[in-house]
Structure 1
């Protein structure tokens, strides 16, 4: 059992965490025809947009209610109404994802009441889903906002229907990249099952050229698919932060669920494929049997470089858990674990202490490590301490291909093994040479 501590500092130095509205916007971007709408000042939206553009190197649709000093004092209902009507006229979204920010949460706008009165005045909005999520950016982190957005989606959009025994719902946490989601979908469809992934970032932020320009997201989970979630035979919740959304579906439709903390590593992938095999009553396809043998060989090739290596990590809780479990399965030791927000997983981590803090705390704890794992903001810490950095999480703005990167399944685990193993190998060779 780990001891979870939170640093009592007046200010965050070299912040690690990203805001809840950014997390919610990322989740909304996995829905087709979506326009995330921030209820706050223009700066709140611009910051999140820049972060996502730098990470994915894609055009990111995002809008704002553009609150000013006056509207903040008098109330933001007119701004919300005007923003929604303008979006309907200009962007023609299929769904609007409405996130609050620290500004409007502090003021205490009654968002449910505002939306009810807007719909009453504008019956033409009847068929337009507006998914509202409360995301104050003065508390929580990206993972919390992402999870809250998914919970709002499954609370409002799915409808009851007859159970389809070949359809499964897959709730994917913020720890999984668009490339991860694509690999997961391929694994599920290989068993003859139809996955409905929420949110499906693999269809919107995987990095692809569209045939025509769209002001909203060009791909993702469709409105029709969201409606059909109530008919799924099972929900896979990938990441502890998706447990709440899975429980909502269980309460609404009686859909049983399984929470899988990771899909990286031999045992985790074995368990997932075994579950799909039992559900579909099909044997595991031969290509995965071969990939499994390739992964076993890769583990044999790389374990010399991982054994007894000390690694320090600064990641969101779900990603921290899966990366830690993977490293320890390869014989590495965790020297320091820093994270952004509370999670039931933290106390279960097989380390002595987990710190909810920033990259300054990470810098104090990491000396003596063989490897650092965090986002691109950890590059300064890496240079200062002279320790190699493996980039994980968000934002990663000094590497290409973040939309395509995958660490799940047998192939993704192999890629992770080789990427990190090569860093260890390079460091050993430079040390011997020196």
Structure 2
């Protein structure tokens, strides 16, 4: 059991976390035909867009209600109404994802009331789902906003229907990349199941060229699929932050669920495949039996480099949980763990302590580590401390291919083993080279 501590600093000197609104926008981008609409100033949306564009290197559809000083004081209903009508006229979205920001949350805009009045005045909007999610960026973090958006989606859109035995719903948290979702999709369909992912980032942010430009998302989970979720026979919640959404589906439609905190590592993937086998009634395909043997061999090849290594991590809670569990399964020690927001998994982490703080806290805790793991903002810390860094999380703006990076399943675990193992190997070679150079210098001085 970990002791969870919160930094007592009154200001974030070197911020680690991203805002809830950014997390909600990311979740909405996994739906087809949607455009996320942030109710706040233009700067709020511009900042979120820059982070997502730099991370994924893709065109990111985001819109804003463009609140000004005057509209903030007088109330934002007119701005929300005008933004929705403009989007409907120009972009023709199938869904609108409406997120609040710190500006409008602080003022206390009655968003449900706004939407009710807007729909009264504009009956032509009756066919258009507008998913509202409260995402104040003065509390919580990206993971909270992502989870809140998924909860709003499954609360408002699915409809009851006759249960389809082979259809399951998969709720994937912010810890999973588009490449992760694609790998999970391939695994699930190999068991003859028909998954509906909420959200499906693998279809929208995996890095592909469309035939033409679209102001809304061209791929992702469709509105028709979202409405069919009430007919699913089972829900797989990937990440502890998805538990709330899974419970909503159980309460509304009586759909049982199971939560998987991680899908990286031999034991974790074994458990996931066994669950799929139980749900589908099929045995595990030979393809994955062979991949499992390949993973076992990779673990034998790399465990010399992972054993007793001290690793410090600065990640969102769900990603922190899965990465810590993976590293410990390979014999590594957790030197320090810093995260962004409270979560039920933090106290369950098999480490001494977890700090909810920023990158300044991380830099103070990390000395003595053999490896740092965090987003691209940890690179400067790694250089100052002279410690290798492995990039995980959002944003990663100094490496390519973030949309297709995969760390789940047997294949993803193998890739993660080799990536981190090579960093350890390079560091050992550098230390050996430095030692030999030092010895040569000592011998030359003696002569």
What TM-score do you get using the length of structure 2 for normalisation? Answer: 0.97
Tell me which residue corresponds to 1:94: 94
Residue pairs, 1:263-412, within 5 angstroms: 263-412=263-412
- Deviations 1:234-272, CA, capped at 9 Å, x for gaps: 000000000000000000000000000000000111111
Residue 160 of structure 1: SS of its match in structure 2?
coil
Tell me which residue corresponds to 1:107: 107
Residue 347 of structure 2: SS of its match in structure 1?
helix
Residue 245 of structure 1: SS of its match in structure 2?
helix
- Deviations 1:371-410, CA, capped at 9 Å, x for gaps: 0000000011000000000000000000000000000000
2-structure distance, mates of 1:96, 1:219: 15
Deviation, structure 1 residue 322: 0.2
Deviation, structure 1 residue 159: 0.2
Deviation, structure 1 residue 14: 1.2
Deviation, structure 1 residue 8: 1.0
Which is greater in Rg? 2
Residue pairs, 1:193-272, within 5 angstroms: 193-272=193-272
2-structure distance, mates of 1:257, 1:307: 36
Tell me which residue corresponds to 2:423: 423
Unaligned segments of structure 1, at least 5 residues: none
Tell me which residue corresponds to 1:44: 44
Find runs of 4+ consecutive structure 1 residues off by over 3 angstroms: none
- Deviations 1:109-128, CA, capped at 9 Å, x for gaps: 00000000000100110110
2-structure distance, mates of 1:115, 1:352: 47
Residue 348 of structure 1: SS of its match in structure 2?
coil
Tell me which residue corresponds to 1:2: 2
Greater CA drift, 200-209 or 280-289: 280-289
2-structure distance, mates of 1:247, 1:289: 32
1-structure distance, mates of 2:288, 2:211: 33
Tell me which residue corresponds to 1:172: 172
- Deviations 1:84-109, CA, capped at 9 Å, x for gaps: 00000111111000000000000000
Tell me which residue corresponds to 2:77: 77
Residue 220 of structure 1: SS of its match in structure 2?
coil
Unaligned segments of structure 2, at least 5 residues: 435-447
2-structure distance, mates of 1:197, 1:132: 20
2-structure distance, mates of 1:13, 1:175: 25
Deviation, structure 1 residue 167: 0.3
Deviation, structure 1 residue 164: 0.3
Deviation, structure 1 residue 213: 1.3
Deviation, structure 1 residue 183: 0.3
2-structure distance, mates of 1:105, 1:278: 45
2-structure distance, mates of 1:359, 1:113: 39
Residue pairs, 1:97-176, within 5 angstroms: 97-176=97-176
1-structure distance, mates of 2:237, 2:280: 18
Equivalent residue pairs, number: 434
2-structure distance, mates of 1:425, 1:185: 33
1-structure distance, mates of 2:277, 2:136: 41
Deviation, structure 1 residue 279: 1.1
Does residue 14 (structure 1) correspond to residue 6 (structure 2)? The answer is: no
2-structure distance, mates of 1:139, 1:275: 36
2-structure distance, mates of 1:279, 1:18: 36
2-structure distance, mates of 1:219, 1:227: 16
